């Protein structure tokens, strides 16, 4: 189960900016699904470097957001099929 209350407000604002940028690049994208996918990924085991992702090159940006949408388990928020976003934080 995804705990939607775990996201700090500053990170929620950054995710919103990421979603707006993605919508400009991919106008047919569902912004609500994109937002939920990014947030679920970030709080459910694959923290993202959100600020760096927001400022990344278009190709890297689309790779990460599109890959998250393609590989997320929407019940758990976990990424499957060994997908790791380029802007994932290093795990210790």
Whole-Å CA distances, 3 to 53, 56, 66: 22, 27, 22
Residue 92 confidence class, pLDDT cut points 50, 70, 90: low
Predicted pLDDT at 3: 83
pLDDT tens figures, 17-62 = 999 999 999 999 999 999 999 999 999 989 999 999 999 999 999 9
Answer yes or no: are the C-beta atoms of 79 and 71 closer than 8 Å: yes
Predicted TM-score (pTM) of the model is 0.93
Per-residue pLDDT tens for 73-84?
999 999 999 999
| Region label for 81, one of left (φ > 0), alpha (ψ between -120 and 50) or beta (otherwise) | left
What's the confidence (pLDDT) of residue 40?
96
């Amino acid at each position: 189960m995804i705990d939607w209350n775990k996201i700090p407000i500053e990170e929620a604002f950054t995710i919103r900016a990421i979603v707006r940028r993605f919508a400009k690049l991919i106008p047919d994208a569902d912004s609500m699904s994109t937002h939920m996918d990014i947030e679920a990924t970030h709080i459910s085991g694959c923290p993202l470097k959100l600020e760096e992702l927001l400022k990344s090159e278009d190709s890297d940006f689309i790779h990460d957001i599109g890959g998250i949408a393609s590989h997320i388990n929407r019940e758990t928020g976990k990424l499957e099929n060994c997908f790791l976003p380029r802007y994932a934080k290093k795990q210790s």
